[in-house]
Amino acid sequence: AVHQIALARRHERPLSVLMIDLDRFKRINDTRGHPAGDLVLKAMASAGKHILRQSDIFARLGGEEFAVLLPETDEERAIVIAERLRQAVAKARFEHDWGEQGPIPFTISIGVAPCFKDDAAIEYALKRADRALYDAKQDGRNRVKVWSRMPEAKASGEVRAAG
């Protein structure tokens, strides 16, 4: 990650980050058990593998939270990638045999933020993406939200509402 930030700065190239949270993951673990939770995590990883590029850095931060570093990606493209990932995860529930209890519906919420050239560390961009993620969760989950400098721009930052 440090190397990617240095490259983006040096060559004045865009860099974006995503913060991702599996919606209601605790409920899945509590009602279906940890093996089901593990399957959900694997489905998330699989979706990431299929949507993200080899140059993207995809990491599980812990629990149900993930981060993605998107080199050479401006905010507009990051939104497209985030939405594709969100849709892929929503479809993943139909691609697995969940046993006799039926499919486990699971979705993700995603916060998108740019990494600015004057950011001293990736943590600044991650905090911005985390704020956008918080807004996505607060606004109903299963959506992509974009970090905005202006609080009143919150409504225009939503990419997709849960349907």
| Cβ neighbours, 10 Å, residue 138 | 11
Distances (CA, A) of 120 to 32, 76, 97, 115, 150: 42, 23, 45, 10, 22
CA torsion sign, 111 to 130 to 113 to 26? negative
- Can 12 be counted among the known catalytic residues? no
Cβ(8)–Cβ(14) below 8 Å: yes
Beta strands in 24-137 (DSSP E): 57-62, 65-71, 108-114
Catalytic member of 64, 95, 123, 158 = 64
What is the token pair recorded at 125? Answer: 């961009």
Give the length of the chain: 163
Residues acting as catalytic residues: 64
